[in-house]
Amino acid sequence: MPVRQSQEAKRRRRRSYLLLPPLLIAAASLLACDGGGARNELAVGGKGGGIGANLAALMEARGLTDADVEAAVKTYIPTGGRDEYLIFASGGHSGQVIVIGVPSMRIIKFIGVFTPEPWQGYGYGDQTNAVLAAGNRQGKPVLWADTHHPSLSETNGEYDGEFLFINDKANARVAVINLKDFVTQQIVTSHLIESDHGATFVTPNTEYVVEPSQYPAPLAGEFAPIEEYDEKYRGAVIFWKFDREAGRIIEDESWAIELPPYMQDLTDAGKGPSDGFVFINSFNTERAWGGTLEGNPPMESGASQNDMDYLHVIDWKKAEQVVADGKTETVAGMRLIRLDTANEEGLLHFVPEPKSPHGVDITPDGKEMVVSGKLDTHGTVYSFEKIKGLIDAKDYAGTDPYGVPILPFEKSIRGQVELGLGPLHTQYDDKGHGYTSLFLESAVAKWDVAGLKVLEKIPVHYNVGHIAAAEGDTTTPDGRFLVAMNKWAIDRFTDVGPLLPQNFQLIDISGDSMQLLYDMPIPLGEPHYAQIINADKINAIDVYTPIGIDPITHQVDANMVEPGKERIERKADGVHVYMTAVRSHFKPDIVRVKEGETVHLHITNVEQAKDATHGFAIGSQNINVSLEPGEHSNISFVADTPGVFPLYCTEFCSALHLEMAGYFLVEPL
């Protein structure tokens, strides 16, 4: 019997989950019964056998332990059932976003973001091409990205399920994805910086999407020799203004702060008491830039000399005012607060952080920040109250070479916790625990935040980078589940050649002891970070309505086609084809043009039934769009090659799907 999960059922189930221990005794008597709803006598092992006998035989046959069976039963979703959470993970250098269900760990969707993806028609039609073109660098298309940190939009520090933001490390771009339809609607490109890493992260009401640079370079695409690194190379942190109504980043209302040439790394926005501040850890205060062929040590050692690097503490509310007051310089089209101004206005402070750290993670109550020293075994717990006090009192331990005040380390922290080898990222649950990934030790450490004491470690396979907890970056994490995003799979999966998948491992953190539940290969891409949101918060639409909607604008397109209004018109700018798609034909299905003519296709899927998607492709023209129910697409191209080209529906739509075809005829001159 399919398991349908209403919201009530889900809440009930969650409460049941928590009642597990007491139920154990009560449930022992259930063993004897036959079980309800068994569809298959063999499965149940015949009358009176119950699940037990058959189960034991299966376990023996498949070499499974009790713990394996428990994990299987904790993660399995029967047909028609629903996952409880959705993971939104970056795809890394696939340039995409990956959506995964928890606890089943099934991938439900890959979202095209920076890389053209034809199944969704992303980058093969006018509207999506326009989105991608906004990502051009110096006027040239860059059709891939290195996505790292997805950020769900937040309201009062809680994921609200409306939007997702994602960065491109390699080419310094940010994208906005609408979670009504899981479509990328906007890409913005900074011309100020060359790369980013600590992006995207949002302020608690998504006022801003934050993007700091990573590898320093001259700002605004200028040139300077590498030897002038200290003098000419800089970083910057961009605050992209987000307009929730419009569902767009507003470039004109965005601004940036210049930063010294350290490698800004990861960001977290303050919340609650720390709302108004943004924290960015960094490394390479040594300002090493390698030069392996010229006798310099490689960056990996050059950047690892110092015992401390700098946690950047940025007062963005104050910076907003500085921008409003006009104390900026417009560089590469963006209002930039110069470093000197930032220092004068007290916008930027540094706090030492041990040894090439990676990750800054604010506690759910917004009072403390944990920074883990990649090359140091400790997690350092900073107190926002202390830091704010030091800033207000101008209690400095000195300044960096760029005049940025440095706060005293010991006075900034509450304490440190010895975590293990290679601690990186910290997540939180609803019981005062921190969970930190230990890359070198290949484990996750669970520790008591108040007591600064490690409680347990669970091995992971292998070498975990980020971890993500359910609702983990919000003011109220759920606990329950943690995902370890391991970098090396080595021997976990069937061999598929020298390029191995990554390994996501689902861990049950609901009990006293962590339990490994599920290994999941990432078949495409290299996720870095992910966020996990309760699936109930996502309000995806089933169809576009009324018909004729452009998914990029969510407005009815000016060129939409109503049934009965199909036509072909020759205008000054070319041949306009107004076409409808419905099961199982296009109208028109025969299009005749002359060699060299410009063709403008306007196609509306006039269906309104859920899942009634049609594709539209023309052979040899590099055209394929996906038309969801009610969706409209425009496709412009030049018919520069004569011939007879089949056109057809690419998404299996009906019994007569193969007959949903026609011809595009280009008559030679």
- The footprint of a second copy on residues 359-388 (CB under 8 A) is 374-375
Residue number, 258 or 368, with CB nearest to a second copy: 258
**Three-class SS of residue 355?**
coil
Write down the least CB distance from residue 153 to a second copy, Å: 16
The sheet carrying 151-155 orders its strands as: 151-155, 158-168, 173-178, 183-189
Residue number, 408 or 501, with CB nearest to a second copy: 501
CB distance 572 to 548 below 8 Å: no
- Per CB under 8 A, the list member of 87, 89, 90, 93 interacting with a second copy is 93
Residue number, 118 or 408, with CB nearest to a second copy: 118
CA distances from 208 to 35, 200, 603 (A): 53, 10, 36
Write down the least CB distance from residue 96 to a second copy, Å: 8
Residue number, 430 or 542, with CB nearest to a second copy: 542
Write down the least CB distance from residue 150 to a second copy, Å: 15
Which residues within the stretch 55-74 sit at the binding site for a second copy (CB under 8 A)?
55-74
* Region near a second copy per CB under 8 A, out of 52-60, 269-277, 443-451, 474-482: 52-60
354 binds a second copy (CB under 8 A): no
Write down the least CB distance from residue 98 to a second copy, Å: 7
- Per CB under 8 A, the list member of 204, 212, 261, 630 interacting with a second copy is 630
Write down the least CB distance from residue 386 to a second copy, Å: 28
Per-residue x/- marks for a second copy, 224-263, CB under 8 A? xxx------x-----------------------------x
Write down the least CB distance from residue 224 to a second copy, Å: 7
Rounded Cα gap, residues 486 and 503, in angstroms: 5
Write down the least CB distance from residue 409 to a second copy, Å: 23
- Per CB under 8 A, the list member of 90, 206, 624, 633 interacting with a second copy is 624
Give, for 72, the enclosing helix (H) or strand (E): helix 66-75
- Per CB under 8 A, the list member of 23, 133, 134, 450 interacting with a second copy is 23
Map tokens 């929730």 to a residue. Answer: 244
Angle at 245 between CA 243 and CA 248, to 5 degrees: 45
Residue 26, amino acid: A
- Per CB under 8 A, the list member of 242, 255, 384, 544 interacting with a second copy is 544
- Per CB under 8 A, the list member of 461, 554, 556, 636 interacting with a second copy is 461
Which residues within the stretch 134-173 sit at the binding site for a second copy (CB under 8 A)?
137-138, 140-146, 170-172
Which residues within the stretch 631-650 sit at the binding site for a second copy (CB under 8 A)?
631, 641-646, 648, 650
Write down the least CB distance from residue 530 to a second copy, Å: 14
Rounded Cα gap, residues 195 and 197, in angstroms: 7
Instruction: Kindly report the backbone phi and psi dihedral angles of residue 41, in degrees, each rounded to the nearest multiple of 5, phi listed first.
Output: -60, -40
CB distance 214 to 163 below 8 Å: no
Both structure tokens of 124: 């093969």
Neighbours of 298 (CB within 10 A): 11
- Per CB under 8 A, the list member of 398, 415, 523, 596 interacting with a second copy is 523
648-652's contacts with Cβ under 8 Å and 24+ in sequence apart are: 648/617, 649/581, 649/584, 649/586, 649/614, 649/615, 649/616, 649/617, 650/615, 650/616, 650/617, 650/624, 650/626, 651/613, 651/614, 651/615, 651/626
* Region near a second copy per CB under 8 A, out of 81-89, 323-331, 391-399, 407-415: 81-89
Nearest CA to 612 out of 595, 627, 594 is that of: 627
Nearest CA to 544 out of 608, 625, 615 is that of: 608
What is the sign of the dihedral through the CA atoms of 82, 88, 89 and 90?
Answer: positive
Residue number, 80 or 451, with CB nearest to a second copy: 80
Which residues within the stretch 289-328 sit at the binding site for a second copy (CB under 8 A)?
289-294, 298-300, 303-304
- Looking at the chain, the number of H-run helices and the number of E-run strands are 12, 44
Which residues within the stretch 187-206 sit at the binding site for a second copy (CB under 8 A)?
194-195, 197
Residue number, 108 or 397, with CB nearest to a second copy: 108
* Region near a second copy per CB under 8 A, out of 179-187, 238-246, 401-409, 446-454: 179-187
**Cβ burial, residue 637 (10 Å; 0-12/13-18/19+):** middle
Write down the least CB distance from residue 272 to a second copy, Å: 30
Question: Which ranges in 237-373 belong to alpha helices (H)?
Answer: 299-302, 316-324, 339-344
Residue number, 22 or 326, with CB nearest to a second copy: 22
Q: Which residues pair with 210 in a beta bridge?
A: 201, 239
Rounded Cα gap, residues 13 and 36, in angstroms: 18
- Per CB under 8 A, the list member of 265, 368, 473, 557 interacting with a second copy is 265
Residue number, 246 or 644, with CB nearest to a second copy: 644
Rounded Cα gap, residues 217 and 256, in angstroms: 15
Neighbours of 541 (CB within 10 A): 17
Write down the least CB distance from residue 366 to a second copy, Å: 27
* Region near a second copy per CB under 8 A, out of 268-276, 363-371, 384-392, 510-518: 510-518
Residue number, 20 or 324, with CB nearest to a second copy: 20
Residue number, 394 or 565, with CB nearest to a second copy: 565
Neighbours of 241 (CB within 10 A): 16
Rounded Cα gap, residues 594 and 667, in angstroms: 5
Write down the least CB distance from residue 375 to a second copy, Å: 7
Residue number, 143 or 250, with CB nearest to a second copy: 143
CA dihedral of 17, 530, 361, 184, whole degrees rounded to 10 = -130
- Per CB under 8 A, the list member of 535, 601, 606, 639 interacting with a second copy is 535
CB distance 486 to 466 below 8 Å: no
Write down the least CB distance from residue 174 to a second copy, Å: 15
